[in-house]
Amino acid sequence: MIETIGAHEYGIRKYFLQKSIPVLFGMFFLIDSIYVFSTSFVVSIFDESLLETPFDKLPPFKVFVTTVIMAPLLETLVFQVLVIEVLRRFSVSMKYAIFISGLVFGSVHQYNVAYMIAIFFSGLLYAYAYVIVRYRLSIFRSALFLISLHALGNLMTFFVNHLSKTLS
């Protein structure tokens, strides 16, 4: 696992480490959902076009496959697992590894600056979730946890976006 856990654990990390894996999944999903929808709502007040991505012009099936299946799988493996595990091997602090992971995650979502900034914070959440789960699970199981979390979040966004287009 990542680092030894001892009596020195404190604060939010200790709180999360005391939770079961299913509870952690629900908590991180809730945090992600609240963040994504509140950010989308605030941004849409100012400029709806800031929420647009190249996927908006694709057929729903292609959007689904890309955003709900492919993106969570590839992005998790590259931007959380690979980045964090490589940085860990070089003895980089987990705080910096989480930050770097979030930065790289946000920087590849180059639809516009506002979108990159918003996704940077999602990347921080995903990286933190990976690290917390990685304290107790193997790399493979931690990656599955995060791929599932990311896919469920993208699935919810897919349905909300598809429903809003259908209703308008």
Contacts of residue 142, Cβ cutoff 8 Å, sequence gap at least 6: 81, 130, 133, 134
Mean residue pLDDT of the chain comes to 86
User: In this predicted structure, which of 7-21, 55-69, 121-135 has the lowest mean pLDDT?
Assistant: 7-21
Residue 88: phi, psi to the nearest 5?
-65, -40
Alpha carbon of residue 145 to chain centroid: 11
- What average pLDDT does range 111-132 have in this prediction? 90
Spell out a b/e string for 45-66, using b for 16 or more CB atoms within 10 Å of the CB, else e: eeeeeebeeebeeeeeeebbee
Model confidence band, residue 5 (pLDDT cutoffs 50, 70, 90)? very low
**Predicted confidence (pLDDT) per residue in 32-76, tens digit:** 999 988 887 887 777 777 667 777 778 889 989 999 999 999 999
Note the pTM of the prediction, 2 decimals. 0.87
Q: What is the band of 160 on the pLDDT scale with cuts at 50, 70, 90?
A: confident
The predicted structure's pLDDT at residue 64: 93
* pLDDT at 44 (0 to 100): 75
User: DSSP label at 46?
Assistant: H
Give the DSSP letter string of 123-160: HHHHHHHHHHHHTTS-HHHHHHHHHHHHHHHHHHHHHH
User: What pLDDT is recorded for position 6?
Assistant: 43
What confidence score (pLDDT) does residue 157 get?
87
- CA distances for 84 relative to 26, 44, 105, 121, 128, angstroms: 23, 33, 12, 16, 10
- pLDDT number for residue 54: 73
> Phi and psi (nearest 5°) for 44?
-65, -25
